[in-house]
Protein backbone atom coordinates (compact mmCIF):
# COMPACT_ATOMS: atom_id res chain seq x y z
CA UNK A 1 0.00 0.00 0.00
CA UNK A 2 1.27 3.50 -0.78
CA UNK A 3 2.79 5.41 2.14
CA UNK A 4 0.29 8.25 1.87
CA UNK A 5 -2.58 5.75 2.08
CA UNK A 6 -1.10 4.26 5.23
CA UNK A 7 -0.76 7.65 6.86
CA UNK A 8 -4.28 8.54 5.84
CA UNK A 9 -5.58 5.31 7.36
CA UNK A 10 -3.68 5.86 10.59
CA UNK A 11 -5.37 9.25 10.86
CA UNK A 12 -8.80 7.83 10.04
CA UNK A 13 -8.43 4.95 12.45
CA UNK A 14 -7.96 7.32 15.40
CA UNK A 15 -11.38 8.83 14.81
CA UNK A 16 -13.36 5.67 15.54
CA UNK A 17 -14.21 3.94 18.80
CA UNK A 18 -11.61 1.25 18.39
CA UNK A 19 -9.62 0.43 21.47
CA UNK A 20 -6.18 -0.58 20.33
CA UNK A 21 -3.47 0.41 17.94
CA UNK A 22 -3.46 -0.19 14.23
CA UNK A 23 -0.75 -2.66 13.20
CA UNK A 24 -1.21 -2.89 9.45
CA UNK A 25 -3.83 -2.62 6.73
CA UNK A 26 -4.45 -4.17 3.34
CA UNK A 27 -6.36 -2.85 0.38
CA UNK A 28 -9.39 -4.95 -0.47
CA UNK A 29 -9.68 -5.28 -4.24
CA UNK A 30 -13.28 -6.44 -4.41
CA UNK A 31 -15.84 -3.87 -5.58
CA UNK A 32 -15.83 -1.30 -8.36
CA UNK A 33 -16.90 1.72 -6.31
CA UNK A 34 -15.61 2.38 -2.79
CA UNK A 35 -12.07 2.19 -1.40
CA UNK A 36 -11.93 -0.60 1.17
CA UNK A 37 -9.21 -1.56 3.65
CA UNK A 38 -8.92 -4.40 6.12
CA UNK A 39 -7.02 -3.15 9.17
CA UNK A 40 -5.53 -5.23 11.97
CA UNK A 41 -5.39 -3.78 15.47
CA UNK A 42 -3.77 -4.92 18.66
CA UNK A 43 -6.46 -4.96 21.32
CA UNK A 44 -5.25 -6.10 24.72
CA UNK A 45 -2.74 -8.41 23.11
CA UNK A 46 -5.22 -9.95 20.68
CA UNK A 47 -5.35 -9.15 17.00
CA UNK A 48 -8.70 -7.78 15.93
CA UNK A 49 -9.71 -6.71 12.44
CA UNK A 50 -11.91 -3.88 11.21
CA UNK A 51 -12.95 -2.65 7.79
CA UNK A 52 -12.39 1.00 6.89
CA UNK A 53 -14.12 2.31 3.80
CA UNK A 54 -13.97 5.60 1.98
CA UNK A 55 -17.37 6.20 0.42
CA UNK A 56 -17.23 7.18 -3.25
CA UNK A 57 -18.73 10.65 -3.30
CA UNK A 58 -19.20 10.87 -7.04
CA UNK A 59 -21.43 7.77 -6.86
CA UNK A 60 -23.08 8.45 -3.49
CA UNK A 61 -23.95 12.13 -3.38
CA UNK A 62 -25.25 12.04 0.18
CA UNK A 63 -23.02 9.76 2.32
CA UNK A 64 -24.76 10.72 5.61
CA UNK A 65 -28.04 9.46 4.10
CA UNK A 66 -26.30 6.22 3.07
CA UNK A 67 -25.08 5.77 6.63
CA UNK A 68 -28.45 6.59 8.14
CA UNK A 69 -30.02 3.81 6.06
CA UNK A 70 -27.27 1.35 6.99
CA UNK A 71 -27.51 2.09 10.71
CA UNK A 72 -31.29 1.71 10.70
CA UNK A 73 -31.16 -1.53 8.78
CA UNK A 74 -28.30 -3.16 10.70
CA UNK A 75 -29.78 -2.14 14.06
CA UNK A 76 -33.10 -3.64 13.06
CA UNK A 77 -31.54 -6.87 11.83
CA UNK A 78 -29.52 -7.20 15.04
CA UNK A 79 -32.68 -6.79 17.16
CA UNK A 80 -34.50 -9.42 15.15
CA UNK A 81 -31.64 -11.90 15.40
CA UNK A 82 -31.36 -11.32 19.15
CA UNK A 83 -35.08 -11.90 19.61
CA UNK A 84 -34.78 -15.14 17.62
CA UNK A 85 -32.10 -16.29 20.06
CA UNK A 86 -29.35 -16.34 17.42
CA UNK A 87 -25.70 -16.68 18.43
CA UNK A 88 -22.69 -14.92 16.87
CA UNK A 89 -24.75 -11.78 16.23
CA UNK A 90 -21.75 -9.65 15.20
CA UNK A 91 -21.03 -12.11 12.40
CA UNK A 92 -24.63 -12.23 11.19
CA UNK A 93 -25.48 -8.52 11.36
CA UNK A 94 -22.93 -5.93 10.27
CA UNK A 95 -21.76 -3.66 13.08
CA UNK A 96 -21.12 -0.01 12.27
CA UNK A 97 -18.40 1.32 14.60
CA UNK A 98 -19.18 4.92 15.62
CA UNK A 99 -16.64 7.72 15.69
CA UNK A 100 -15.42 9.08 19.00
CA UNK A 101 -18.05 11.78 18.56
CA UNK A 102 -20.73 9.12 18.20
CA UNK A 103 -21.35 9.49 14.47
CA UNK A 104 -21.57 6.63 11.97
CA UNK A 105 -19.03 8.29 9.66
CA UNK A 106 -15.97 10.52 9.83
CA UNK A 107 -15.47 13.38 7.40
CA UNK A 108 -11.79 14.11 6.81
CA UNK A 109 -10.18 17.47 6.01
CA UNK A 110 -10.55 16.81 2.27
CA UNK A 111 -14.28 16.31 2.72
CA UNK A 112 -14.12 12.54 2.23
CA UNK A 113 -16.47 10.28 4.21
CA UNK A 114 -15.11 7.25 6.04
CA UNK A 115 -16.89 4.46 7.87
CA UNK A 116 -15.75 1.53 9.93
CA UNK A 117 -17.28 -1.92 10.33
CA UNK A 118 -16.43 -4.91 12.46
CA UNK A 119 -14.63 -7.45 10.26
CA UNK A 120 -16.53 -10.72 9.97
CA UNK A 121 -13.96 -13.42 10.66
CA UNK A 122 -13.80 -16.96 9.31
CA UNK A 123 -15.72 -16.13 6.17
CA UNK A 124 -14.83 -15.91 2.51
CA UNK A 125 -16.33 -14.57 -0.67
CA UNK A 126 -16.13 -15.87 -4.21
CA UNK A 127 -16.20 -14.05 -7.53
CA UNK A 128 -17.93 -16.97 -9.24
CA UNK A 129 -20.06 -19.79 -7.86
CA UNK A 130 -18.30 -23.10 -7.44
CA UNK A 131 -21.32 -25.32 -6.80
CA UNK A 132 -25.13 -25.30 -6.81
CA UNK A 133 -24.93 -25.49 -3.00
CA UNK A 134 -23.23 -22.07 -2.92
CA UNK A 135 -26.00 -20.64 -5.09
CA UNK A 136 -28.57 -21.98 -2.62
CA UNK A 137 -26.72 -20.15 0.16
CA UNK A 138 -26.72 -16.89 -1.82
CA UNK A 139 -30.43 -17.15 -2.60
CA UNK A 140 -31.25 -17.95 0.98
CA UNK A 141 -29.04 -15.15 2.39
CA UNK A 142 -30.52 -12.38 0.26
CA UNK A 143 -34.05 -13.76 0.72
CA UNK A 144 -33.52 -13.76 4.45
CA UNK A 145 -32.14 -10.23 4.30
CA UNK A 146 -35.34 -9.07 2.59
CA UNK A 147 -37.40 -10.95 5.17
CA UNK A 148 -35.50 -9.44 8.11
CA UNK A 149 -35.97 -5.84 6.93
CA UNK A 150 -39.56 -6.35 5.78
CA UNK A 151 -40.97 -5.07 9.08
CA UNK A 152 -38.71 -2.05 9.51
CA UNK A 153 -40.90 0.72 10.88
CA UNK A 154 -40.65 4.46 10.42
CA UNK A 155 -39.88 6.73 7.52
CA UNK A 156 -39.15 5.41 4.06
CA UNK A 157 -35.41 4.78 3.61
CA UNK A 158 -33.43 7.32 1.58
CA UNK A 159 -33.01 6.65 -2.12
CA UNK A 160 -29.21 6.64 -1.97
CA UNK A 161 -28.99 6.51 -5.77
CA UNK A 162 -32.28 7.61 -7.32
CA UNK A 163 -33.49 5.45 -10.23
CA UNK A 164 -30.69 2.98 -9.59
CA UNK A 165 -32.32 0.06 -11.42
CA UNK A 166 -34.53 2.15 -13.68
CA UNK A 167 -33.80 0.41 -16.96
CA UNK A 168 -35.53 3.10 -19.04
CA UNK A 169 -33.24 5.78 -17.60
CA UNK A 170 -30.21 3.51 -18.05
CA UNK A 171 -31.27 2.90 -21.65
CA UNK A 172 -31.67 6.63 -22.29
CA UNK A 173 -28.21 7.23 -20.80
CA UNK A 174 -26.79 4.65 -23.20
CA UNK A 175 -28.48 6.31 -26.18
CA UNK A 176 -27.01 9.62 -25.11
CA UNK A 177 -23.51 8.16 -24.71
CA UNK A 178 -23.79 6.66 -28.20
CA UNK A 179 -24.92 9.98 -29.67
CA UNK A 180 -22.11 11.89 -27.96
CA UNK A 181 -19.45 9.23 -28.50
CA UNK A 182 -17.12 11.47 -26.52
CA UNK A 183 -13.91 9.55 -27.05
CA UNK A 184 -14.66 7.78 -30.31
CA UNK A 185 -15.22 4.36 -28.88
CA UNK A 186 -18.58 3.60 -30.48
CA UNK A 187 -16.89 2.00 -33.51
CA UNK A 188 -15.22 -0.54 -31.25
CA UNK A 189 -18.54 -1.49 -29.67
CA UNK A 190 -20.68 -1.61 -32.81
CA UNK A 191 -22.14 -5.05 -32.33
CA UNK A 192 -22.74 -4.52 -28.58
CA UNK A 193 -24.57 -1.27 -29.33
CA UNK A 194 -26.67 -3.02 -31.94
CA UNK A 195 -27.53 -5.81 -29.52
CA UNK A 196 -28.42 -3.34 -26.76
CA UNK A 197 -30.73 -1.24 -28.92
CA UNK A 198 -32.57 -4.35 -30.14
CA UNK A 199 -33.51 -5.25 -26.58
CA UNK A 200 -35.62 -2.13 -26.06
CA UNK A 201 -38.86 -4.14 -25.60
CA UNK A 202 -37.47 -5.46 -22.28
CA UNK A 203 -36.82 -2.05 -20.85
CA UNK A 204 -40.23 -1.04 -19.45
CA UNK A 205 -41.69 -4.38 -18.40
CA UNK A 206 -41.06 -4.13 -14.65
CA UNK A 207 -41.43 -0.35 -14.59
CA UNK A 208 -44.88 -0.62 -16.16
CA UNK A 209 -45.96 -3.43 -13.86
CA UNK A 210 -44.85 -1.30 -10.91
CA UNK A 211 -46.64 1.77 -12.26
CA UNK A 212 -49.83 -0.30 -12.62
CA UNK A 213 -49.54 -1.22 -8.94
CA UNK A 214 -48.87 -4.88 -9.67
CA UNK A 215 -45.49 -5.04 -7.95
CA UNK A 216 -44.97 -3.85 -4.36
CA UNK A 217 -42.16 -1.58 -3.26
CA UNK A 218 -40.05 -3.30 -0.61
CA UNK A 219 -36.79 -2.67 1.20
CA UNK A 220 -34.22 -4.37 -0.97
CA UNK A 221 -30.46 -4.78 -1.12
CA UNK A 222 -30.00 -3.74 -4.74
CA UNK A 223 -26.47 -5.08 -5.16
CA UNK A 224 -26.95 -8.80 -4.67
CA UNK A 225 -23.71 -9.87 -6.31
CA UNK A 226 -22.46 -13.26 -5.23
CA UNK A 227 -19.28 -11.67 -3.87
CA UNK A 228 -21.41 -9.75 -1.40
CA UNK A 229 -22.31 -12.98 0.43
CA UNK A 230 -19.96 -13.95 3.25
CA UNK A 231 -19.72 -17.74 3.44
CA UNK A 232 -18.42 -19.51 6.53
CA UNK A 233 -15.01 -20.99 5.72
CA UNK A 234 -15.82 -24.12 7.75
CA UNK A 235 -19.41 -24.95 6.86
CA UNK A 236 -19.83 -23.07 3.57
CA UNK A 237 -23.07 -21.61 4.90
CA UNK A 238 -23.94 -17.95 4.36
CA UNK A 239 -23.19 -15.88 7.45
CA UNK A 240 -24.34 -12.44 6.27
CA UNK A 241 -24.58 -10.18 3.26
CA UNK A 242 -22.44 -7.07 2.93
CA UNK A 243 -22.25 -3.88 0.85
CA UNK A 244 -25.36 -2.17 2.16
CA UNK A 245 -24.85 1.18 0.40
CA UNK A 246 -27.73 0.67 -1.94
CA UNK A 247 -30.19 -0.78 0.56
CA UNK A 248 -33.27 1.31 -0.19
CA UNK A 249 -36.83 1.02 -1.45
CA UNK A 250 -36.93 -1.16 -4.54
CA UNK A 251 -38.31 -4.27 -6.19
CA UNK A 252 -37.54 -7.75 -4.87
CA UNK A 253 -37.19 -8.81 -8.49
CA UNK A 254 -34.12 -6.66 -9.01
CA UNK A 255 -32.44 -8.47 -6.14
CA UNK A 256 -33.30 -11.87 -7.50
CA UNK A 257 -32.29 -10.79 -11.01
CA UNK A 258 -28.83 -9.73 -9.90
CA UNK A 259 -28.36 -13.05 -8.12
CA UNK A 260 -29.15 -14.83 -11.38
CA UNK A 261 -26.63 -12.59 -13.13
CA UNK A 262 -23.82 -13.23 -10.67
CA UNK A 263 -24.31 -16.86 -9.70
CA UNK A 264 -25.52 -18.88 -12.65
CA UNK A 265 -22.55 -18.56 -14.98
CA UNK A 266 -19.31 -20.28 -13.94
CA UNK A 267 -17.37 -17.27 -15.19
CA UNK A 268 -16.19 -14.01 -13.70
CA UNK A 269 -17.97 -10.79 -14.61
CA UNK A 270 -15.16 -9.83 -17.02
CA UNK A 271 -14.46 -13.23 -18.63
CA UNK A 272 -13.03 -12.77 -22.12
CA UNK A 273 -13.77 -16.27 -23.39
CA UNK A 274 -17.46 -15.88 -24.12
CA UNK A 275 -17.87 -19.55 -24.93
CA UNK A 276 -17.60 -20.20 -21.19
CA UNK A 277 -20.40 -17.82 -20.26
CA UNK A 278 -23.71 -19.58 -19.73
CA UNK A 279 -26.71 -19.81 -17.46
CA UNK A 280 -26.42 -23.21 -15.77
CA UNK A 281 -29.81 -24.64 -14.92
CA UNK A 282 -28.76 -26.75 -11.88
CA UNK A 283 -27.16 -23.69 -10.29
CA UNK A 284 -30.20 -21.55 -11.06
CA UNK A 285 -32.51 -24.15 -9.55
CA UNK A 286 -30.62 -24.16 -6.26
CA UNK A 287 -30.46 -20.36 -6.25
CA UNK A 288 -34.23 -20.16 -6.73
CA UNK A 289 -34.85 -22.83 -4.10
CA UNK A 290 -32.69 -20.98 -1.57
CA UNK A 291 -34.33 -17.66 -2.32
CA UNK A 292 -37.87 -19.00 -2.17
CA UNK A 293 -37.17 -20.92 1.03
CA UNK A 294 -36.51 -17.58 2.71
CA UNK A 295 -38.72 -15.22 0.69
CA UNK A 296 -41.42 -17.43 -0.84
CA UNK A 297 -43.82 -16.71 1.99
CA UNK A 298 -44.09 -12.98 1.26
CA UNK A 299 -43.63 -12.72 -2.51
CA UNK A 300 -46.81 -12.03 -4.48
CA UNK A 301 -47.96 -14.10 -7.49
CA UNK A 302 -47.01 -11.19 -9.79
CA UNK A 303 -43.47 -11.17 -8.42
CA UNK A 304 -43.17 -14.94 -8.67
CA UNK A 305 -44.32 -14.86 -12.29
CA UNK A 306 -41.47 -12.53 -13.27
CA UNK A 307 -38.53 -14.19 -11.50
CA UNK A 308 -36.88 -15.66 -14.59
CA UNK A 309 -37.48 -12.48 -16.58
CA UNK A 310 -35.83 -10.42 -13.84
CA UNK A 311 -32.56 -12.31 -14.34
CA UNK A 312 -32.54 -11.39 -18.00
CA UNK A 313 -33.52 -7.79 -17.33
CA UNK A 314 -30.94 -7.04 -14.65
CA UNK A 315 -28.17 -8.72 -16.61
CA UNK A 316 -29.11 -6.54 -19.56
CA UNK A 317 -29.29 -3.42 -17.38
CA UNK A 318 -25.85 -3.94 -15.84
CA UNK A 319 -24.55 -4.74 -19.33
CA UNK A 320 -25.73 -1.41 -20.70
CA UNK A 321 -24.29 0.38 -17.67
CA UNK A 322 -20.87 -1.12 -18.48
CA UNK A 323 -21.31 -0.20 -22.14
CA UNK A 324 -22.34 3.37 -21.29
CA UNK A 325 -19.32 3.75 -19.04
CA UNK A 326 -17.04 2.35 -21.74
CA UNK A 327 -18.38 4.92 -24.21
CA UNK A 328 -18.12 7.73 -21.67
CA UNK A 329 -14.47 6.95 -20.86
CA UNK A 330 -14.62 4.68 -17.79
CA UNK A 331 -15.62 7.31 -15.28
CA UNK A 332 -17.93 5.21 -13.07
CA UNK A 333 -16.71 1.62 -12.66
CA UNK A 334 -13.08 1.16 -11.62
CA UNK A 335 -11.18 -0.52 -14.47
CA UNK A 336 -7.99 -2.56 -14.32
CA UNK A 337 -7.13 -3.04 -17.99
CA UNK A 338 -7.92 -1.50 -21.40
CA UNK A 339 -11.45 -2.23 -22.62
CA UNK A 340 -12.39 -3.62 -19.24
CA UNK A 341 -15.89 -2.21 -19.29
CA UNK A 342 -16.41 -3.48 -22.83
CA UNK A 343 -15.34 -6.96 -21.74
CA UNK A 344 -17.74 -6.77 -18.82
CA UNK A 345 -20.53 -5.65 -21.16
CA UNK A 346 -19.86 -8.56 -23.50
CA UNK A 347 -20.13 -11.18 -20.77
CA UNK A 348 -23.41 -9.64 -19.61
CA UNK A 349 -24.88 -9.68 -23.11
CA UNK A 350 -23.76 -13.26 -23.70
CA UNK A 351 -25.48 -14.20 -20.45
CA UNK A 352 -28.65 -12.35 -21.51
CA UNK A 353 -28.73 -14.58 -24.58
CA UNK A 354 -28.17 -17.70 -22.54
CA UNK A 355 -30.95 -16.77 -20.11
CA UNK A 356 -33.31 -15.95 -22.99
CA UNK A 357 -32.73 -19.43 -24.44
CA UNK A 358 -33.67 -21.07 -21.14
CA UNK A 359 -36.15 -18.56 -19.74
CA UNK A 360 -39.24 -20.73 -20.09
CA UNK A 361 -37.65 -23.65 -18.26
CA UNK A 362 -36.33 -21.28 -15.60
CA UNK A 363 -39.81 -19.89 -14.98
CA UNK A 364 -41.37 -23.35 -15.06
CA UNK A 365 -39.03 -24.39 -12.28
CA UNK A 366 -40.02 -21.53 -9.98
CA UNK A 367 -43.70 -22.07 -10.83
CA UNK A 368 -43.32 -25.65 -9.66
CA UNK A 369 -41.61 -24.57 -6.44
CA UNK A 370 -44.16 -21.99 -5.37
C1 LIG B 1 -21.03 -2.03 -8.56
O2 LIG B 1 -19.96 -2.07 -5.36
P3 LIG B 1 -19.92 -3.12 -6.39
O4 LIG B 1 -18.67 -3.14 -7.14
O5 LIG B 1 -20.33 -4.44 -5.83
C6 LIG B 1 -22.36 -1.32 -8.76
C7 LIG B 1 -23.46 -2.35 -9.00
C8 LIG B 1 -23.12 -3.22 -10.18
C9 LIG B 1 -21.76 -3.86 -9.95
C10 LIG B 1 -21.30 -4.63 -11.16
C11 LIG B 1 -23.24 1.53 -6.49
O12 LIG B 1 -21.11 -2.80 -7.39
O13 LIG B 1 -24.68 -1.70 -9.27
O14 LIG B 1 -24.07 -4.22 -10.37
O15 LIG B 1 -20.75 -2.86 -9.66
N16 LIG B 1 -22.67 -0.51 -7.60
C17 LIG B 1 -23.02 0.78 -7.74
O18 LIG B 1 -20.28 -5.48 -10.79
O19 LIG B 1 -23.16 1.31 -8.83
MG1 LIG C 1 -21.79 -2.16 -4.21
The pLDDT of residue 370 is: 83
Q: Whose CA is nearest to atom 1 of ligand 1?
A: 32
Q: How would DSSP label each residue in 183-242?
A: TS-GGGGHHHHHHHHHTGGGTTHHHHHHHTT-S--EEE-S---GGGEEEETTT--EEEE-
Fold of 3-121: Phosphorylase Kinase; domain 1 (3.30.200)
Across 59-69, average pLDDT: 98
Is 319's pLDDT higher than 80?
yes
**What is d(CA 75, CA 69) in angstroms, rounded to the nearest whole number?**
10
* CA 122 to mean position of chain CA atoms: 21
**What is d(CA 184, CA 309) in angstroms, rounded to the nearest whole number?**
33
- Contact yes or no for 215/302 (Cβ under 8 A): yes
List pocket residues of ligand 1, CB cut-off 6 Å: 31-33, 59, 223, 225, 243, 246, 269, 318
Q: What does each C-alpha distance from 289 to 66, 220, 367 come to in angstroms?
A: 31, 19, 11
Across 177-194, average pLDDT: 98
Q: Which of 281, 252, 242, 285 is nearest to 265 (CA)?
A: 281
Query: CB 44: neighbour CB atoms within 10 A?
Result: 7
Q: How confident is the model at residue 2 (pLDDT cuts 50, 70, 90)?
A: confident
Q: Whose CA is nearest to atom 3 of ligand 1?
A: 31
Is 150's pLDDT higher than 90?
yes
User: Closest ligand 1 atom, CA of 262?
Assistant: 18
Is 4's pLDDT higher than 80?
no
The total number of residues written for the chain in this structure: 370
User: Closest ligand 1 atom, CA of 56?
Assistant: 11
Across 356-367, average pLDDT: 98
- Contact yes or no for 67/96 (Cβ under 8 A): yes
Is 3's pLDDT higher than 90?
no
For 61, residues 6+ apart whose C-beta sits below 8 A from its C-beta are none
Q: What does each C-alpha distance from 125 to 31, 55, 94, 238 come to in angstroms?
A: 12, 21, 15, 10
Which sequence spans correspond to the domains of the chain?
Answer: 3-121, 132-369
What 3-state class would DSSP assign to 94? Answer: coil
Across 47-70, average pLDDT: 97
pLDDT tens digits, residue range 202-255? 999 999 999 999 999 999 999 999 999 999 999 999 999 999 999 999 999 999
132-369 is a CATH 3.30.1360.180 domain: no
Instruction: Round the average pLDDT of the chain to a whole number and report it.
Output: 97
| pTM value surpassing 0.95 | yes
Across 99-121, average pLDDT: 97
Across 287-295, average pLDDT: 98
Is 7's pLDDT higher than 90?
no
Is 322's pLDDT higher than 80?
yes
Amino acid sequence: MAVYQEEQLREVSKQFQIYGEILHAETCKIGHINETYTATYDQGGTKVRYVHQKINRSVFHDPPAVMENIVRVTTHIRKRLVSQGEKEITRKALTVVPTRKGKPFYRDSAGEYWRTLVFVERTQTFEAVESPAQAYQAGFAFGQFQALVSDLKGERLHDTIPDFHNTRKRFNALQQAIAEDRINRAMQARSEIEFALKQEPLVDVLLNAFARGELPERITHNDTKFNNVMLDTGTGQAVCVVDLDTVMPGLALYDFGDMVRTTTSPTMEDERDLSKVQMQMPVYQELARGYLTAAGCFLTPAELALLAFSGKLITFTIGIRFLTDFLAGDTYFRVHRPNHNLDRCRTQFRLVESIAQQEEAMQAYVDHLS
